[in-house]
Chain A
Amino acid sequence: MAANWTIDGVREALAAKKISARELAADFYKRIGAKNPELNAFLALSPERARRQTDKIDALVAAGKPLPPLAGVPIAIKDVISTRGTKTTCGSKILENYFPPYDATAVERLEAAGAVILGKTNCDEFAMGSSNENSAYGPVKNPVAPDRVPGGSSGGSAAAVASGLAVAGLGTDTGGSIRQPGSFCGIPAMMGSYGRVSRYGLIAFASSLDRIGPLATNVKDVAAILKIIAGRDPHDSTSTTTPVPDYGAELGKPVKELRLGIPKEYFGEGMDAGVRKKVEAGIEVFKKQGCELIEIRMPHTDYAIATYYIIATAEASSNLARYDGVRYGLRVDGDSLISMYRKTRGAGFGPEVKRRIVLGTYVLSAGYYDAYYLKGQKVRALIAQDFRDAFLKVDAILTPTSPVPAFRLGERTADPLQMYLADIYTVTGSLAGVPGISVPCGKIEGKLPVGLQIFGPAFGEARVLKLAHAFEQAGGASV
């Protein structure tokens, strides 16, 4: 069976009865069984759920009925996204035995569109990390270089898709957690605008930043999945009523004469020479397509990491207050209610989560709120303004996704600040709320993938996807 399935490929094979949805899912489970022990990309599988779905699809095929857009497409779901009846741990010991009583809206919409949910993918605990090494269930290995990290926090979804264990995956992005692992594993990966995809059922880390988005092997599939999961959901008051365009219909339209901003601040110190070379070559591809390249300034870029680690940790400290051992997850007994809370949280959370709860509680605490949290919110406004100013002059912005390619397992774990700085090019767009995609942009020494990031204005997903697709079609992945 061909290893490189796409959404179109699955549909054609099903319609032509070359394979049944059940056989296809079984084939993927076989591959997962063979490869997952080494990769550690999946934490839980949902074969019964998959079987119910493939039976439905196969019945449609047998009856000669029209197939839904994602019919039979095997998909991997990051473990911070709720799946009814399938264990959802968030990569944390505190949710080791948590079975959500409902599905996330994104999951529900994927299944309604015919997709087959294979299982749940490993991630940094509560999506807090840039390497997947903060998972309580062990790190994921990068399929292109097993001694290296897959990126994080959606490392499991990225590794699963890149190694052919799923046709596509859902990840979540708070400061780069979809785009950076996409870049490290060599696949396209996208976060839509804040408000584009419902967060209902996404177990909260930082509510003003968290977004669900797709990872796939090609831009067309990213567009197809985003279209399915996007749109207003009454269960999430921050999901917008802004209409969802047919992203797929935009692909292939000319990108000629689009104005692309190259922000000087994203090409400064700390960038790996190999990454720089590939991203510069990637930018040339757009030039050859007839795009106009414009050097721009985004003066507050250098303050984004500091701002992000105030806002994200403050929101996390509040969101994670719910893990108290009363209603779900781990409980460690204590001789009073308070001591039960303290012991449960002390035993259930891993080091990075505790560090962020302490930092987040500190920046919100009396006497420090103005100096840190309020200051962070003000600088966040300046960073968002940088983007609005830029989009008066350009149609999209090109940057590297990460300053470095996939690093070695263990290389950065001792120093949290160094780990945070790996997100330097992705957190800006997270703070501003704009959409961004990482597309493969060559490999360093033919081995380690580099990602090119494309930012668009809020709700400009169609343009971002059109550019990413044009880049991919022009051979951007092998510059």
Chain B
Amino acid sequence: MKISREDVLRVAELAYLDLSEMELETYRAQIDEILEYIGKLNELDTANVEPMAQVLSDDQTADATLREDLVVPCAVAEDVLKHAPDPEPPYFRVPKVIER
């Protein structure tokens, strides 16, 4: 077994994700099978391979120069707040985070 019930619980905690008992067991079994499959990567010796952390190669640079740090208008606040779950313009309201 590659991944245990405790592993899934720990990961769900890290990801702030509530899972039901049934989800927990179903995903554990499915992810276990996927990790088993992923294990085939160990057939490859990659000791001397540089990881690919960037898709574009050096001659395809997007734009090497940084843009100027200019103030540009972005008048979307009202629009954004209008559709927010619990707006209190100009804020988003959330459950209390500081205990007295």
Contact = CB atoms under 8 A, between A and B. Distances in A.
Interface of A: 97-99, 101-102, 194-195, 208, 232, 234, 236-242, 300, 302-303, 305-307, 309-310, 317, 321, 324-331, 333-343, 345-347, 349, 351, 354-355, 357-359, 361-362, 365, 372, 374-382, 384, 416-417, 420, 433, 458-459
Contacts of B15: 317, 321, 345, 357-358, 361
A101 B79 contact: yes
B18 A355 contact: no
Contacts of B84: 326-328
Given A101-B80, A232-B63, A349-B17, A381 B23 contact: no
Residue among A309, A334, A354, A374 facing the most chain B CB atoms (10 A cut-off): A354
A358 B31 contact: yes
A89 to B, nearest CB: 12
A35 to B, nearest CB: 30
Nearest to A238: B62
Contacts of B11: 358, 361-362, 365
B89 to A, nearest CB: 13
A357 B37 CA distance: 18
B7 interface: yes
A102 B26 CA distance: 38
A240 B19 contact: no
Contacts of B35: 359
Interface of B: 3, 7-8, 10-12, 14-20, 23, 26-27, 30-31, 33-35, 37-44, 46, 49-57, 60-63, 67, 76, 79-80, 83-86, 92, 94-97
Given A238-B56, A238-B62, A240-B63, 15 more contacts: A99-B79, A307-B41, A309-B34, A310-B38, A321-B15, A330-B85, A331-B85, A340-B95, A345-B15, A346-B19, A358-B12, A365-B11, A372-B38, A377-B53, A416-B30
Nearest to A414: B30
B37 A306 contact: yes
Contact of B31 (A241, A310, A362): A362
B27 A355 contact: yes
A382 B44 contact: yes
B23 A354 contact: yes
Contacts of A382: 44, 46, 49
A270 to B, nearest CB: 14
Contacts of B41: 303, 306-307, 375-376, 379
5 contacts: A317-B15, A337-B96, A378-B49, A379-B49, A433-B55
B26 to A, nearest CB: 8
B13 to A, nearest CB: 9
Given A99-B83, A365-B14, A354 B38 contact: no
A239 B62 contact: yes
Contacts of B42: 375
Contacts of A327: 80, 84-85, 92
A102 to B, nearest CB: 7
A353 to B, nearest CB: 10
B17 A345 contact: yes
